[in-house]
């Protein structure tokens, strides 16, 4: 049973994480996180990607503290202000995920909000990650608002890769 849980958790994490090349294809200038770090400083861009991917490997192995340290290192490598760069959403989403896995829902929510603020226009997973933390904190109205945004934009497909309970949570409350 534990092995199945770990496999499901790893699959959910992989589905939520998008490589920066995938994110850059969907960027819109109306959001934060639109400055292309690869164009500004390719060496730094590659260094940050390597640090985050190392964090992802540690996260998938269950080494949450070490993964968190790598994600925080990646965030600290972003030039000021960090939220202007296209990698900000990816890093913030990773930090939100690791804090969530550690049961630190307030910290998860804070990082998820940064991911929401820096997300590409048609990206929905940041809203769901934010809503997950809200659910755990008992903030169901706020969770419904963000789950609703994800559902409106992507319908059921937006919830692929997430535990089915989040779509069920939304659908159950949205019909009432």
Q: Is the pTM of this model over 0.85?
A: no
3-state class (DSSP) for residue 123: coil
β-bridge mates for residue 85, sequence order: 35
**Dihedral sign from CA coordinates of 142, 148, 151, 152:** negative
| Cα–Cα separations (whole angstroms), residue 173 to 5, 11, 24, 69, 109 | 26, 26, 34, 37, 21
- Residue ranges covered by each domain of the chain: 2-174
**Which architecture does CATH list for 2-174?**
Alpha Horseshoe (1.25)
Enter the tokens of residue 56.
């992802």
The pLDDT tens digits of the residues spanning 95-150 come to 999 999 999 999 999 999 999 999 988 999 999 999 999 999 999 999 999 999 99
The pLDDT tens digits of the residues spanning 17-75 come to 554 444 434 433 344 667 889 899 999 999 999 999 999 999 999 999 999 999 999 99
């Amino acid at each position: 049973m534990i092995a199945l849980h770990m496999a499901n958790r790893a699959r959910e994490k992989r589905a939520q994480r998008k490589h920066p090349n995938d994110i850059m294809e969907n960027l819109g200038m109306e959001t934060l996180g639109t400055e292309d770090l690869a164009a500004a400083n390719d060496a730094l861009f590659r260094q940050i990607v390597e640090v985050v991917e190392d964090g992802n490997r540690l996260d998938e192995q269950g080494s949450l503290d070490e993964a968190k340290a790598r994600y925080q290192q990646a965030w600290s490598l972003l030039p000021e202000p960090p939220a202007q760069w296209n990698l900000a959403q990816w890093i913030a989403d990773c930090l939100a995920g690791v804090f969530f896995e550690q049961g630190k829902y307030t910290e998860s929510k804070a990082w998820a909000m940064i991911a929401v603020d820096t997300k590409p226009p048609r990206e929905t997973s940041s809203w769901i990650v934010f809503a997950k933390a809200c659910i755990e904190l008992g903030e169901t109205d706020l969770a419904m608002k963000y789950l609703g945004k994800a559902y409106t934009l992507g319908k059921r497909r937006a919830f692929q890769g997430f535990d089915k309970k989040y779509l069920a949570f939304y659908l159950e409350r949205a019909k009432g």
